[in-house]
Amino acid sequence: MEKVEQANKESQSPLSFLTNLLIARWRSLLLLLIGVYLPLQVFEILTVKIWENQAGLPWDVPILLAVHSTANPQLDVLAVTLATIGLPWTAIPILGAIALILLLQKRWRSLAYLLTASVGSIIISYTAKELMHRVRPQLWQSIAPESSFAFPSAHAMTSIILVAILLFLTWASSWGWLVLIFGSLYIIAIAWCRLYLGVHFPSDILAGWMVALGWTIGVSLIIKPDKTTAKSVDSDRPKDETTLLPEEI
């Protein structure tokens, strides 16, 4: 039986093989296009535009001024609190706790995804800021000023990374939709506080979202943190998550 199946595979034409491959992998290819290529393309466009004009895009300043027009003491407190919660350093204890749980559960693939996505985002944020050297907005005196470079927003990137990691780890459970809903609100709230405080242009936020989205989804396509079982490359016996070589179904 195995010899017959092998003979059938060898007799396939290149076109038939390619067609079957595309049909079998269409979900990953679609995710690659929508979740990786398109966000990174938007990030590239923003980078080129801002490289040519440090003042930003035409809609940057009007949006900032519109957000600033709503300023009041209550919102000041909320914005500063959200900015503190959204700090990249604040996410480290949360990610560390999740990493420890994954380590104890021996969920190596999920742990590898968490570490790769987190460390990679830090490297991307730091190198992009140093390359672009975009200064912060100077439209008004911020109540929580920042001295580092602005593009892309590290707060925006951190919010996407944190929510994406939690989403991939909980999507198969009953918590998945709750993480999606509250995570989306958290991402928007962090973006709002950066604009409200006047320390980022909207294009900084958008760029942070796009590059973090492309990075997290790209890493997930390679590591596949949502899978809990995988086939061994040496046999047909299913193995647990100790292998990082999953078979896509």
How do residues 8-17 score in pLDDT, each as one tens digit?
555 567 777 6
List the beta bridge partners of residue 239. 230
Q: Which among 102, 130, 98, 195 is positioned nearest to 156, based on CA atoms?
A: 195
Which pLDDT tens digit goes with each residue over 106-151? 888 889 999 999 999 999 999 999 888 888 888 888 888 888 888 9
Give φ, ψ of 133 to 5 degrees. Answer: 55, 40
Q: Which among 224, 239, 229 is positioned nearest to 110, based on CA atoms?
A: 224
Q: How many Cβ atoms sit within 10 Å of the Cβ of residue 136?
A: 19
CB 181 within 8 Å of CB 134 = no
Sole residue written with tokens 């580092």: 148
pLDDT of residue 36: 86
Write out the two tokens for 131.
């390359």
List the beta bridge partners of residue 143. none
Which pLDDT tens digit goes with each residue over 2-49? 554 555 555 567 777 667 766 766 777 777 888 888 888 988 889 888
Which pLDDT tens digit goes with each residue over 162-197? 998 888 888 878 888 898 999 999 999 999 999 999
pLDDT of residue 228: 55
pLDDT of residue 66: 93
Question: Using a CB cutoff of 8 Å and minimum separation of 24, what contacts does 170-176 make?
Answer: 171/226, 172/226, 172/228
- Please state the rounded mean pLDDT for residues 44-56: 83
Q: Can you give the length of the chain in residues?
A: 249
Res. 221 pLDDT band, cuts 50 70 90: confident
pLDDT of residue 192: 95
pLDDT of residue 227: 67
Spatial neighbors of 58 by CB under 8 A, at least 6 apart, are none
Percent of the chain past pLDDT 70, that is, above it, reads 82
Structural element, H or E, at residue 238:
strand 238-239
